[in-house]
Chains A and B, each alone.
Chain A
Amino acid sequence: MNQFMVRVLVVLTVILGVNYIAWRWLESLNWAAWWIAVPLVVAETYSLIDVSLFGLTVWRIRKRSPGPVPTDATVDVFITTYNEPAEMVLATALAAKAITHPHSTWILDDGARSQIRDLAHEHGIGYLTRSSEWENRPRHAKAGNLNNALMVTQGEFLLILDADQVPEPQILTNTLGYFSDRRVSLIQTPQYFINVPESDPLGSQAPLFYGPIQQGKDGWNAAFFCGSNALLRREALMQLGLVGYVREVERGIRKALKASRKAIRKARHSTEAKDPLVAGLLDQVQAAMDTARSELKAGASLSDITYRVRGSVNDAVQSLVESDFSALQADLAEISAMNLTDAEGFTVPEPELDDAIGRMSHRDWSPLGALESVQAVLDAISVERDTEAQPIMPLATISVTEDMATSMRMHAMGWRSVYHHEILAYGLAPEDLNTMLTQRLRWAQGTVQVMLRENPLLQKGMRLSQRLMYFATMWSYLAGFAAVIYFAAPIIYLTLGILPVQSISTDFFVRFIPFMVVNQLLFTVAGRGISTWRGQQYSLALFPTWITACTTAARNVWFGRPLNFAVTPKERQTGGPSWSLIRPQLIVMGLLLFALVVGSLRLIAGLNEPIGTAVNVAWVSFDLVILSVLITAVRYKGFTPQERTGTDAVQHRA
């Protein structure tokens, strides 16, 4: 019944939303004030798409229970830690050790702390740190930590736990059954925090996400990995690692071939290339490269391709040397400056190879110089690339949050995922605004990174519905830009009297109000009484965080700038209220209040009309209520256990 109601409301929301937005675009825009009219209608369109994607998500809510546990399932339980306090790590590890289903427990200590190592040994818990191969190579944070552990453990399934997530003894018994379906590679369970009062001032619990949203995504076979409290199938992870490895090797070869062709083309313009013998040889090499390129596209063996190109280049060099065409001294110097072989002769770090390839394609070579440089580059790529600690990286390393990218790649390879809606681990949420903001920034950055690097809409192998499920989450992180416009528009009207719409008339109300009403109803019914208000507040109130996430992630992906990545501290940071953390929001609040005053004065002076003023005052009040969550958040002094409402109540809801 509930599901039917949800679907009715989804249909109504979309119909009424399109009705409203179409009218907004076609009939209502105040072109005289296009600079606010257009941004506002774009923001509203953004929100309509957002709610439609939410509607699609909750269209197919799936509630399920696992089959019988495979008796021979071998499991490794991984507890990832970097700098969390030893007592916290130990508490989680001991609870993990006490899990009923047979398993091995491992602490993956990225901080390599001797205290933790000793505690692990004392309690008979496995202890792993990075192998020596990781020295001076990209560490890839948590993904790297897990990838390192995958190479030295053997369990068929892995349970991943953050250092603060204390598992229930039945966590494996209640979930492993889903793996009887051999296509299932991921089982995600909720993340729930025990150190959060009922009012949840920092919006730590995500009952809508670990509820209707993940259940809805599950209905489309798109429930995704959230980094902790999840089980993974080793086979699927390793498969991802292998496919990724082949892709990286191919990418390297393609890049080298492209630069080589360019170098040869430039050499064709040199004076020596007028000689028919030289021209003929260069043609031959070029033809060999064309063949290589099409073979690469056709999916031929990578080693064969490089082997044949090298053969043809070697022959050409031989002939040129025999007929006394010598490379210019300057060319020889440049080739040796490319530094493609060190004393050992076998390791070429990727940045240097990239650099060499870049220099090669920009220089005007003599024919022999060009060929010899090509020779050097081909030799360099044919040996093992040595920039990564491990050739196989099962967990995706393209983002600071490895989880979403990993499950997306699994889905693209045809694996299935499960969302199991039962709280089976209890964690600790940040207890102060600063830590909370750092954490949200990191999640948002990670999500936007994945969107920019591997846009789900363009991923082959996933169904359209799966692509949309991933896209929906990414899309929601663009809310920061919309929020700014939603704050600016009423301020502009109240202070300057400029309306983004032609007039606030019956036309507006009959379209807008029904849409807003069904929209809110949809959230209420789909949320099954879960309070979604905190989430709605934060999705607008944290607009500076979302915008920073988008801009830093874009700079990182497109221009290679660092993200200034920070590990989320699990302990409370000390100190008084830090108002500076929410300076942009305080400024906005000030402007909103100022607008209320000016708006009233303008109304009295007859400069603004009454209906417009009423609508905008209501809008400003709504904005202020949204932002007020931050005042409580800044003043929040951390969790005191008396406030606790008991985890039982929540379990029942789950």
Chain B
Amino acid sequence: MQFSTEHKTDYTEVAGNGRLNMVAAPKLREVVQEAVSAGYKRIVVNLAETSFMDSSGLGALIGCLKLARQAGGDLRIACVQPQVLMVLELTSMNRVLTPHPTAEEAFSHD
């Protein structure tokens, strides 16, 4: 799985394409850690190209959420695909990580 990071005006977008599973999970943590340490604390993870996620992937998202919030920022998710939404709902994680329709909208209400 490949991750790309793009710094927008008021947030940083991390996009990943492929399967966010137990193998890719540590990689995501690294990418977000890097952004947060560089001072980019408002992160949107764009999941448009993420076709599959397992609980380890979701666990990594929570780990990243913690990193961002500890730094005084936040992490949000956008463009969630049906399988990923199912995993979110199965674990009630959608109550903590609310899916936003687009990356732009994720921080637009703040």
Task: Using CB atoms and an 8 Å cutoff, list the residues of chain A in contact with chain B.
Answer: 151-152, 154-156, 234-239, 241-243, 245-247, 249-250, 299-304, 345-347, 383-384, 386, 390-392, 394
Contact = CB atoms under 8 A, between A and B. Distances in A.
A154 B62 contact: no
Interface residues of B, number: 25
Contacts of A390: 63
B93 interface: yes
Contact of B58 (A238, A304, A345, A386): A238
Given A241-B59, A246-B91, A303 B54 contact: no
B4 interface: no
Contacts of B25: 154
B93 to A, nearest CB: 6
B interface secondary structure, majority: helix
A236 to B, nearest CB: 8
Nearest to A239: B55
B56 interface: yes
A341 B60 CA distance: 27
A238 B54 contact: yes
Nearest to B109: A307
A239 B23 contact: no
B59 A238 contact: yes
B55 A246 contact: no
Given A154-B23, A346-B71, A384-B69, A242 B62 contact: yes
Contacts of B15: none
B8 interface: no
Given A238-B56, A249-B95, 20 more contacts: A151-B59, A237-B55, A238-B55, A238-B59, A239-B91, A242-B59, A242-B91, A242-B92, A242-B93, A245-B62, A250-B95, A301-B94, A302-B95, A346-B70, A346-B72, A347-B70, A384-B65, A384-B66, A384-B70, A390-B63
B22 interface: yes
26 contacts: A151-B59, A152-B26, A154-B22, A155-B22, A234-B56, A235-B22, A238-B22, A239-B90, A239-B91, A242-B58, A242-B62, A243-B92, A245-B62, A245-B93, A301-B96, A301-B98, A304-B98, A345-B72, A346-B69, A347-B70, A383-B69, A384-B69, A384-B70, A391-B66, A392-B59, A394-B59
A272 B5 CA distance: 53
B63 A391 contact: yes
A464 B55 CA distance: 28
A202 B92 CA distance: 46
A151 B65 CA distance: 15
Nearest to B90: A239
Contacts of A152: 26
Interface string B85-107: 00000111111101000000000
A604 to B, nearest CB: 73
A155 B58 CA distance: 16
Nearest to A243: B91
Interface string B67-85: 0011110000000000000
